[in-house]
C-alpha cells in the first residue's frame, strides 16, 4: 500500500506541476518541421563511424547558435553542448549517436543517401540504416527547446552527440568508451543519463522499456584449432582440425541449450566465420573460427566465457589437437537503473499514454550507451518508428538496405526526452550541480 501511495503521489506531482505539458507539446509541434528538415539532411549525407565530420560541424553550429558552451573533437568527432540552468539542481545528460553504416540504401526517398566511402578496403554505400540521423535531429530540437527555458531550468543539461556507436574501424578507438576514457563523464559530472533508440518494427507513438539488463553485452571470440596436416586420402596419418572445429561448434551450442539458465536471462553464442585449408585433398594444419557472445547478466557472462574455453580446449584434446581461445570483451550490458526506471515510469506513461508504453523483453543486440550507464544511473528506451500503414512483418529490420523509419516518430521522442529531463530536475530540485 505504501509503494502504491508513493507511485500515485509521484504521478500526481508529475501531472500537476511538471513541465507544463501543453506548452511543451506546442513547442515540439512548432519545431518539428525544422527537426524533420535536419533529419533529412543528415540522412542524405550519412557518414561512417569516426568519420562524422560534416555531421559534427552541423551539430556544433547549431549548439553555438543557441549560445551553449560547446566542446568538440571528443573521441575524434564527438560534440558536447552544456546548458546551465538559472536555478540549482541536478545535471542531466542526454545522448544521441551520429554514425551511419556501410550499407547501400534501397529505399525510394527524395533524401535517400547517395554517399560512398571506403570500409575495410572496399568502396561501400553509406546509409543511416539504424536511425541515428533521427537521434541527432531530435536532440538538436530538444536542445533548442530547453535553451529557450534556461531561466526556468532547475539544473543543467548536457547534450552528448556521440560518434562511432556502431564500432570504431579496426585499429581505432571510438564511441562512448573513448569519450569516457578521455574524461567526459568526470568533466560534466552528470547525475543521470537518458537515451533512446528509434525502432523500425515498433509502431509510431509507442515506447518500449525494460528495467535492468535491456540490451546484451557483446563479446567476440577467436578459436584456432591446431591439428596435423596430411593427405586427404589418409586422415589417420594426421589430425583433422576442420572436423575438430565442427565438433567444437556443436559443443558451443550445448553451452547455451544445456548449461545456461535461460529462464534467468537470454544468451547466445554464434560462430560467424570458419576458415581452414587450401584445396580439396589436403587436410590442413589449422582451422580458425570467430564468433559473438551475447549475455544479459554479468555472472552468466563470466560462466559462459569459462565454458567456451573449457569446451573448445577439451574437445580438441580428445582428438589429439590443440585449441587456442581468445575472448575479447566488447560492449557491456546496457543496464537500466532499477530505481531510476521505476521513478521515471509515470513520466513515460504521461508522455506517450500508458496504453502505448510496453514492457519489453530483453534484446540480444548491443548498445554502447552501456558505457555511460556504468558511470551514472541510466535509462534507455525504444521509440516507435514504423508507420501504422506498414505491417510489422513487412517492415525492414535495422542494418539493411530497406530500413525505414517515419519522421512522425520523432515528435514523441522529443517530448519524452524533454519530460524526462524536466521531471527529473523537479524531483531533485535544489541538488547542488
Contact 10/2 with Cβ under 8 angstroms? no
Note whether 288 and 274 are within 8 A (CB): yes
Residue of 311, 270, 277 whose CA lies nearest to 291? 270
At 195 the three-state DSSP class reads strand
Question: How far is residue 277's CA from residue 246's CA, in Å, rounded to a whole number?
Answer: 14
269 contacts 255 by C-beta, under 8 angstroms: yes
165 noted as active-site residue: yes
Do you know the residue count of the chain? 433
Question: Which of the following is catalytic: 99, 191, 297, 423?
Answer: 99
List the Cα angle 418/157/210 in 5-degree steps: 55
| Distances from the Cα of 192 to the Cα of 17, 172, 242, angstroms | 21, 28, 50
How far is residue 11's CA from residue 329's CA, in Å, rounded to a whole number? 40
Active site residue 144: no
One of 52, 97, 165, 265 is an active-site residue; which one?
A: 165
The rounded distance, in Å, linking the Cα atoms of 234 and 306 is: 35
DSSP string computed for 145-164: HHHHTGGG-EEEEEEEEES-
Residue 228 bridge partners (DSSP): 239
Whole-number Å distance between alpha carbons of 424 and 433? 13
- d(CA 133, CA 385) in angstroms, rounded, equals 12
Non-local (6+) Cβ contacts of 275 within 8 A are 287, 288, 289
- Distance separating alpha carbons of residues 402 and 284, to the nearest angstrom: 41
CB under 8 Å to 151, separation ≥6 — which residues? 86
Report how far apart the first and last C-alpha atoms of the chain are (Å, whole number).
34
Distance, CA of 93 to CA of 186 (rounded, Å): 12
Q: Which residues are catalytic?
A: 99, 165
Amino acid at each position: 500500500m505504501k509503494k502504491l501511495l508513493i507511485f500515485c503521489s509521484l504521478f500526481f506531482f508529475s501531472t500537476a506541476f511538471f513541465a507544463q505539458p501543453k506548452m511543451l507539446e506546442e513547442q515540439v509541434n512548432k519545431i518539428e518541421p525544422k527537426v524533420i528538415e535536419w533529419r533529412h539532411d543528415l540522412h542524405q549525407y550519412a557518414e561512417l563511424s569516426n568519420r562524422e565530420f560534416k555531421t559534427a560541424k552541423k551539430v556544433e553550429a547549431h549548439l553555438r547558435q543557441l549560445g551553449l558552451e560547446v566542446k568538440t573533437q571528443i573521441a575524434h568527432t564527438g560534440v558536447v553542448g552544456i546548458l546551465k540552468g538559472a536555478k540549482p539542481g541536478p545535471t542531466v545528460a542526454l545522448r544521441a549517436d551520429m554514425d551511419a553504416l556501410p550499407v547501400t540504401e534501397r529505399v525510394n526517398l527524395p533524401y535517400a543517401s547517395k554517399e560512398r566511402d571506403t570500409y575495410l578496403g572496399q568502396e561501400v554505400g553509406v546509409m543511416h540504416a539504424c536511425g541515428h540521423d533521427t537521434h541527432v535531429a531530435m536532440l538538436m530540437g530538444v536542445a533548442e527547446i530547453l535553451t529557450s527555458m534556461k531561466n526556468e531550468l532547475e539544473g543543467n543539461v548536457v547534450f552528448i552527440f556521440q560518434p562511432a556507436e556502431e564500432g570504431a574501424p579496426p585499429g581505432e578507438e571510438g564511441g562512448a568508451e573513448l569519450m569516457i576514457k578521455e574524461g567526459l563523464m568526470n568533466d560534466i559530472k552528470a547525475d543521470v543519463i537518458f537515451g533512446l533508440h528509434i525502432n523500425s518494427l515498433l509502431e509510431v507513438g509507442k515506447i518500449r522499456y525494460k528495467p535492468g539488463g535491456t540490451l546484451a553485452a557483446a563479446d567476440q571470440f577467436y578459436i584456432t584449432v591446431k591439428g596435423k596436416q596430411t593427405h586427404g586420402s589418409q586422415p589417420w596419418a594426421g589430425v583433422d582440425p576442420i572436423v575438430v572445429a565442427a565438433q567444437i561448434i556443436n559443443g558451443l551450442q550445448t553451452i547455451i541449450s544445456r548449461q545456461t539458465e535461460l529462464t534467468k536471462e537470454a544468451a547466445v553464442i554464434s560462430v560467424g566465420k570458419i576458415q581452414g585449408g587450401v584445396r580439396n585433398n589436403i587436410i590442413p594444419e589449422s582451422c580458425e573460427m570467430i564468433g559473438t557472445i551475447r549475455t544479459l547478466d554479468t555472472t552468466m557472462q563470466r560462466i559462459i566465457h569459462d565454458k567456451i574455453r573449457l569446451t573448445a580446449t577439451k574437445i580438441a584434446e580428445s582428438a589429439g589437437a590443440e585449441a587456442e581461445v581468445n575472448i575479447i570483451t566488447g560492449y557491456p550490458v546496457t543496464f537500466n537503473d532499477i530505481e531510476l526506471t521505476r521513478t521515471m515510469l509515470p513520466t513515460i506513461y504521461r508522455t506517450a499514454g500508458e496504453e502505448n508504453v510496453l514492457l519489453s523483453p530483453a534484446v540480444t543486440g548491443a548498445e554502447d550507451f552501456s558505457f555511460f550507464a556504468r558511470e551514472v544511473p541510466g535509462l534507455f528506451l525504444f521509440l516507435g518508428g514504423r508507420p501504422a500503414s506498414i505491417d510489422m512483418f513487412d517492415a525492414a529490420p535495422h542494418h539493411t538496405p530497406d530500413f525505414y523509419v517515419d519522421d512522425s516518430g520523432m515528435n514523441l521522442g522529443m517530448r519524452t526526452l524533454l519530460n524526462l529531463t524536466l521531471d527529473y530536475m523537479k524531483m531533485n530540485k535544489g541538488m547542488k550541480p
